[in-house]
């Protein structure tokens, strides 16, 4: 019997990152401690104990969207959408209810917040933003990003984005996130002062690491394949749903034409006019019901899109791991090279086809004093290299430990959310079929009575 392929979702026990020696030191660093250190680096080490508690005790909503006109960084006039964020405490202080705070944010500010979180929390599957422009649309939906229906769906998505962060055990503690909810003026300047752009990994460097890393971790490789498959499956599902929505919309609207025909026919038939008029009315009701049905379906499509974009967040974690693994391998190669040079100088053996060998042939042997000085320099570099390699090993082990803890949390969240969404979608379809079936039964009765009359 063929052995089943192990499920990468079950392989969640952290393992050493390094291809070299193992070290058990530093494994006591927890996710919270690592996140606290990253947050302090990005916010000047300011404590947030009170605010962390406050964030867990508030309600967050994006209650309104407003179309505005202003000037961009190039001093050119542009039209954009601003979103009203409201925060309200769910507790009472000294018997008094805390007033609701509100401020306006643009979509670009949400993007800035997420980019900051990606840099300072690379081991976390950072929640994605809703789409900036409509994707997987069918003909009735507008692809215009200023369309009111699209703006409303994006408003809901932005609110969900904030709630995802506020419910995350690490991200909710971040000071920049807290200021995003409470400080309208100079918030961008505060984010830029953290210097997160300078710490961001370049795409070219990440691509280079992807192709040149020699010892990739199989679990992260499997996770990357899993994210690719997740994106492929959800993309295919959304495309099929868009095609079905187009066809279903056409079928329902055809009945609207039948309704008009029956209504016009009832005007010239005296004895069966009432029956025809009633049949036409039911046809019209049936045709118009598709608008509400597809509007409800669009809500479930947006839930699927969220996990479509989550696939890229998973790949971001994999790319960071590949970069760390590549840097570790480069450090190990550099250390091995220096040790070999030191050994050659100490023993006096020189490889003929090396740079040192060619130099010796051209300029002669070094003096003992020169050789001793070089050995001393190399020994210092070796000591520094060993410390650096050990530090990278510990950093990598901490990353793997924390990353898999958050990936496990994400997968539990994904299974729960998609299960609820698909069950709700099935219930909606059953309700729709019952409603449509009841309407058809009435139409059939009317047609039978009309047929008997004829």
Render pLDDT for 86-95 as a digit per residue (tens, 0 to 9). 988 776 555 5
Q: And the tokens for 52?
A: 């962390």
- E-only strand ranges, 231-360: none
The band of 266, judged by pLDDT with boundaries at 50, 70 and 90, is confident
Torsion 141-144-146-151 (CA) sign: positive
- For 223, residues 6+ apart whose C-beta sits below 8 A from its C-beta are 8, 314, 317, 318, 407
Using alpha carbons, select from 357, 21, 16 the residue that is nearest to residue 219: 16
Task: Supply the mean pLDDT for the chain.
Answer: 76
Percent of the chain with pLDDT over 70: 71
Judge whether residue 351 has pLDDT over 80: no
Distance CA 396, CA 402 (A): 10
pLDDT at position 359 is: 59
> Does 34 or 170 have the greater pLDDT score?
170
Using alpha carbons, select from 164, 201, 175 the residue that is nearest to residue 309: 164
CB 44 within 8 A of CB 176: no
pLDDT at position 440 is: 46
Distance CA 9, CA 211 (A): 24
Reduced to 3 DSSP states, what percent helix, strand and coil does the chain have, rounded to the nearest 5? 70, 10, 25
The residue ranges of every structural domain in the chain are 326-351+367-415
The three-state DSSP-derived secondary structure of 151-203 is: HHHHHHHHHHHHHHHHHCCCHHHCHHHHHHHHCCCCHHHHHHHCCHHHHCCCH
Distance CA 319, CA 309 (A): 16
H-run or E-run covering 31: helix 31-42
CB 403 within 8 A of CB 317: yes
pLDDT at position 316 is: 92
Judge whether residue 335 has pLDDT over 90: no
- pTM of structure: 0.75
């Amino acid at each position: 019997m063929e052995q089943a392929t192990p499920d990468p979702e079950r392989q969640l026990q952290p393992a050493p990152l390094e291809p070299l020696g193992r070290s058990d030191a530093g494994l006591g660093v927890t996710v919270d401690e690592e996140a606290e250190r990253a947050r302090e680096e990005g916010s000047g080490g300011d404590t947030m104990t009170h605010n962390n508690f406050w964030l867990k005790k508030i309600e967050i909503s994006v209650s309104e969207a407003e179309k505005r006109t202003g000037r961009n960084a190039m001093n050119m006039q542009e039209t954009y959408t601003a979103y009203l964020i409201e925060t309200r405490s769910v507790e009472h202080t000294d018997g008094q209810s805390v007033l609701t705070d509100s401020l306006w944010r643009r979509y670009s500010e949400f993007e800035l917040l997420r980019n900051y979180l990606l840099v300072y929390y690379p081991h976390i599957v950072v929640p994605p933003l809703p789409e900036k422009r409509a994707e997987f649309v069918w003909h009735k939906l507008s692809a215009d990003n200023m369309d009111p229906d699209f703006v409303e769906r994006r408003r809901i998505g932005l609110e969900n984005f904030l709630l995802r962060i506020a419910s995350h055990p690490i991200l909710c503690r971040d000071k920049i996130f807290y200021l995003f909810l409470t400080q309208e003026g100079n918030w961008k300047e505060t984010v830029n002062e953290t210097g997160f752009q300078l710490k961001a990994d370049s795409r070219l460097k990440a691509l280079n690491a992807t192709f040149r890393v020699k010892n990739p971790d199989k679990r992260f490789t499997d996770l990357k394949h899993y994210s690719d498959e997740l994106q492929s499956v959800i993309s295919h599902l959304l495309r099929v749903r868009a095609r079905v929505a187009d066809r279903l919309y056409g079928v329902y609207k055809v009945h609207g034409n039948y309704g008009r025909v029956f209504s016009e026919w009832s005007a010239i038939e005296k004895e069966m006019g009432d029956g025809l008029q009633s049949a036409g009315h039911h046809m019209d009701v049936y045709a118009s019901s598709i608008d509400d049905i597809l509007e409800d379906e669009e809500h479930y499509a947006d839930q699927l899109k969220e996990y479509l974009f989550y696939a890229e967040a998973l790949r971001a974690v994999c790319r960071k791991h590949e970069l760390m693994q590549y840097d570790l391998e480069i450090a190990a190669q550099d250390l091995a090279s220096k040790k070999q040079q030191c050994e050659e100088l100490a023993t006096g053996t020189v490889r003929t086809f090396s740079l040192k060998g060619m130099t010796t042939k051209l300029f002669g042997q070094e003096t003992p004093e020169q050789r001793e000085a070089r050995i001393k320099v190399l020994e210092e570099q070796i000591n520094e290299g060993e410390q650096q390699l050990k530090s990278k090993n510990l950093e990598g082990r901490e990353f793997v430990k924390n990353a898999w803890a958050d990936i496990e949390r994400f997968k539990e969240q994904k299974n729960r959310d998609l299960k609820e969404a698909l069950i709700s979608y099935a219930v909606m379809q059953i309700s729709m079929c019952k409603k449509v079936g009841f309407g058809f039964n009435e139409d059939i009765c009317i047609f039978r009575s009309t047929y008997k009359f004829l």
